[in-house]
Amino acid sequence: MAYFKDLKRYEYSKNLFKCAGEPLNIGWLERCAPYPNGVVAPELTKKLLALCKFPVNRYRGWHGCHFCKEYPVRITDSDGEFCLGDGEIRVAAKDENFTYVAPNLIYHYVIAHQYLPPDVFLDALRALSLPNPAVVWILEWIEAFQNQPAILSDLLDRTLRLDKPSLPPELRGAVVEAANELKVGESPGSDARETTESIVNRLKSELTKPK
Ligand SMILES: [Zn+2]
């Protein structure tokens, strides 16, 4: 994993999915650079784990840990075993002028290597209401593939088959419907009246509707 200083502008990739305001680095550690040590409160490590298990901007393969050389880094909780090092998490700052972007290895750095992230990040994490990870994945795919209905439809089908993360039951119907409508729109000679854009917009508004 590359080293980037905490609270400097994020530059690891161009994917700014879910980054409101300026994206800032958190937890891009490397052996060459010292980092602050400390203990993070259990309620925050629990939230961090929930985010890190299902990262966004996922990479092909994993990045291992530079400190203990574990590759890939594995974690186990009540849901089973997960590997870290394959993506990122986003935490919006309380004032929404910034979004903190961390590699999902941050959970391992905090637990195994006593990394203490900056207070502003911990405050933002405390204030964050955890999103449903399956919904976050779908929103990310919509952003990436909204003009490629065949790919998007496959990804929606795949999400419906996943045990973890699982979609809230009340949203499954909307996802099934959108996946099917996107397929109809793709078939030759189809007289589907709806364009991909309106199918996608309807799904997006279902997924982001306040509960
Ligand atoms: Zn390690």
Q: How far is the CA of 194 from the centre of ligand 1 (A)?
A: 50
- Stretch 81-90: mean pLDDT, rounded? 97
Domain ranges of the chain: 22-127, 133-207
Query: Minimal CA–CA distance to 145: which of 203, 189, 192?
Result: 203
Q: How far is the CA of 13 from the centre of ligand 1 (A)?
A: 23
pLDDT bracket for residue 208 (50, 70, 90): very high
pLDDT, position 96? 84
Residue 89: strand pairing partners: 102
Residue 56: strand pairing partners: 88
Predicted TM-score (pTM) of the model is 0.92
Alpha helices in the chain (DSSP H): 42-53, 106-113, 119-127, 133-145, 149-161, 169-186, 196-208
pLDDT bracket for residue 186 (50, 70, 90): low
Q: How far is the CA of 111 from the centre of ligand 1 (A)?
A: 9
pLDDT, position 1? 73
Q: Give the whole-angstrom CA distance, residue 107 versus residue 113.
A: 10
| Average pLDDT across the chain, whole number | 93
For residue 106, give both structure tokens. Answer: 């941050």
pLDDT, position 104? 98
- Give the count of alpha carbons within 13 A of 4, CB side only: 20
Q: How far is the CA of 42 from the centre of ligand 1 (A)?
A: 19
Q: How far is the CA of 108 from the centre of ligand 1 (A)?
A: 6
pLDDT bracket for residue 184 (50, 70, 90): confident
Q: How far is the CA of 80 from the centre of ligand 1 (A)?
A: 20
Q: What is the DSSP letter of 85?
A: S
Q: How far is the CA of 74 from the centre of ligand 1 (A)?
A: 10
Q: Which long-range contacts (CB under 8 A, 24 or more apart) does 76-79 make?
A: 77/49, 77/53, 79/53, 79/164
CA 159 to chain centroid: 14
pLDDT, position 202? 95
Q: How far is the CA of 72 from the centre of ligand 1 (A)?
A: 10
pLDDT bracket for residue 56 (50, 70, 90): very high
pLDDT bracket for residue 77 (50, 70, 90): very high
Residue pLDDT, tens place only, 105-131: 999 999 999 999 999 999 999 999 999
Is residue 19 scored above 90 in pLDDT? yes
Collapsed DSSP state (helix, strand, coil) of residue 135: helix
Cα 32–Cα 15–Cα 54 angle in degrees, nearest 5 = 80
pLDDT, position 119? 97
Q: How far is the CA of 123 from the centre of ligand 1 (A)?
A: 24
Strands 73-77 and 80-84, by their bridges, are antiparallel
Q: How far is the CA of 10 from the centre of ligand 1 (A)?
A: 22
